[in-house]
Amino acid sequence: MTSKRSSKKKDQNSWLGLDIGGANLKLAHSNVQTAWSKSLPFAMWKESTQLASALARAIDDSPEFQGIAVTMTGELADCFATRAQGVACILDQVTRLFPAPLVFVYCVDGKFRSPSQAARDPWMAAASNWHALANWSRRLLPASKSSGAEPLGVMVDIGSTTIDVIGVSSSSLLTSSKTDSDRLKRRELIYTGVERSNLCGLLRSVPLHGKNCPVMNEQFATTRDAYLWLGYFEDDSQDHQTADGQPATRQCARYRLARLVGEDGSTLADSDIDAIAQSVMSKQVGLLRRSMERVLGRIESRGAVSSMICAGHGGFLLRQTLEDGLLASRFGFGDQIWLSDKLGEGLSRCAPAFAVSQLASEQSD
């Protein structure tokens, strides 16, 4: 199957962005008017050889495009002995579906490479989606209000598995990081998200009947269960991608959360489940706050931070983090740019895929 080429002049610079993760595939078209995007689960650690087939199904209803812009994090999946092997496998699967001359791979130096070039230099292509999003998001910073002062901001992307916090200016990314380990050490990468994080890895204890109760070291529940219970996510009775294989509904989340403390949904009151779920949010808010303080603290010597850009589908977590106003009062960002408002929920959730499609479109003008 080849790309959906268009003979119409208006489509000659249309790109399909692919963000190939370890647990999800995200796709977005560069044409904002179409607002086409798609996010679907894909267990790379189990199905790496089925990536081409999954992508073929995913693009069945996509608008026409002239090229493919790829960014990835899925090379970290433990089905691959090395990240180099992971990059090579992903690119092999992509070029089984799309002709290699139409595929351009985004790298952490901000440049695109051919699939063969990226496979030869895998650490440049590996874990590149955060860089693509931060690099594109610089364009959203408002113009400087004073002569000589370059606009500064922070980009926060909250997804199902991770949170990215990256300082940006209108001309560059304000980080020296190139790898995930770099970003972990600099607190620019928080390896917890709003759906997939195992709660026993996030929390040591939760409130129960007026006391702190240690949690059981089993994958009984994930962060998605906490936010299903708290009402931030809607029920999806057809989705069984949960810790116990039962539906992703609030009622089933109740039972999963209760197992953390050796109980079940019939033995705990609503208030007990509330306390467990609120503990999850409080922990993640604390992690995000400390990360933002660290990142913003490094860039504030350059001047006032004018903007905050939020992407992903976990914006409610950032809103909770900002609720008391302390971060804003300390660091001074007045403009809050929510991609969910600017582009819609779908493109915000698939923001790295959209960003890489935009960057490719710019470079091919």
What span, in angstroms and rounded, lies between the C-alpha atoms of 110 and 219? 37
Q: Residue written as tokens 């209108």?
A: 170
For residue 247, give Cα distances in angstroms to 8, 229, 243, 244, 346. Answer: 44, 13, 10, 9, 22
Query: Residue 8 above 50 pLDDT?
Result: no
Helix (H, G, I), strand (E, B) or coil at 281: helix
Query: Residue 10 above 70 pLDDT?
Result: no
pLDDT band at 332 (very low <50, low <70, confident <90, very high): confident
Q: How many CB atoms sit inside 10 A of residue 39's CB?
A: 20
pLDDT of residue 149: 79
pLDDT of residue 267: 95
Which letter does DSSP use for residue 64 in this model?
P
pLDDT of residue 15: 98
CA 231, distance to chain mean position in Å, is: 21
Q: Residue written as tokens 């991609």?
A: 339
pLDDT of residue 11: 53
pLDDT tens digits, 12-41: 689 999 999 999 999 999 999 999 999 999
pLDDT of residue 145: 64
Across the chain, what does the average pLDDT equal?
A: 94
pLDDT of residue 300: 85
List of domains in the chain: 9-127 (3.30.420.40), 148-349 (3.30.420.190)
Query: Which has the closest alpha carbon to 230: 264, 214, 248, 253?
Result: 253
pLDDT band at 91 (very low <50, low <70, confident <90, very high): very high
Residue % of the chain over a pLDDT of 90: 87
Q: How many CB atoms sit inside 10 A of residue 225's CB?
A: 31
pLDDT of residue 352: 98
For residue 323, give Cα distances in angstroms to 73, 152, 238, 289, 304. Answer: 31, 22, 34, 11, 20
pLDDT tens digits, 249-269: 999 999 999 999 999 999 999
pLDDT of residue 322: 94
* Alpha-helix runs per DSSP H in the chain: 44-47, 51-58, 83-97, 115-120, 122-125, 129-137, 180-185, 199-202, 223-229, 250-259, 270-299, 315-322, 326-331, 339-342, 345-349, 351-363
pLDDT tens digits, 208-248: 999 999 999 999 999 999 999 999 999 999 999 999 999 99
Give the list of residues 6+ apart from residue 110 with CB closer than 8 angstroms, or none.
131, 135
Helix (H, G, I), strand (E, B) or coil at 179: coil
Beta strands 205-208 and 211-214, pairing class: antiparallel
| Sequential DSSP letters for 200-251 | HHH-SEEEETTEEEEPPSS---BHHHHHHHTTSS--BTT---STTSS-BSHH
- List residues bridging with 158 in a β-sheet: 163, 312
Specify whether the CB–CB gap between 312 and 158 falls below 8 A: yes
Query: Residue 97 above 70 pLDDT?
Result: yes
Q: For the chain, what's the residue count?
A: 365
Instruction: Report, as an integer, the average pLDDT of 311-330.
Output: 93
Instruction: Report, as an integer, the average pLDDT of 353-365.
Output: 93
- Residue 293, classified by CB atoms within 10 Å of its CB into exposed (0-12), middle (13-18) or buried (19+), is middle
pLDDT tens digits, 158-199: 999 999 999 999 999 999 999 999 999 999 999 999 999 999
What span, in angstroms and rounded, lies between the C-alpha atoms of 281 and 96? 42
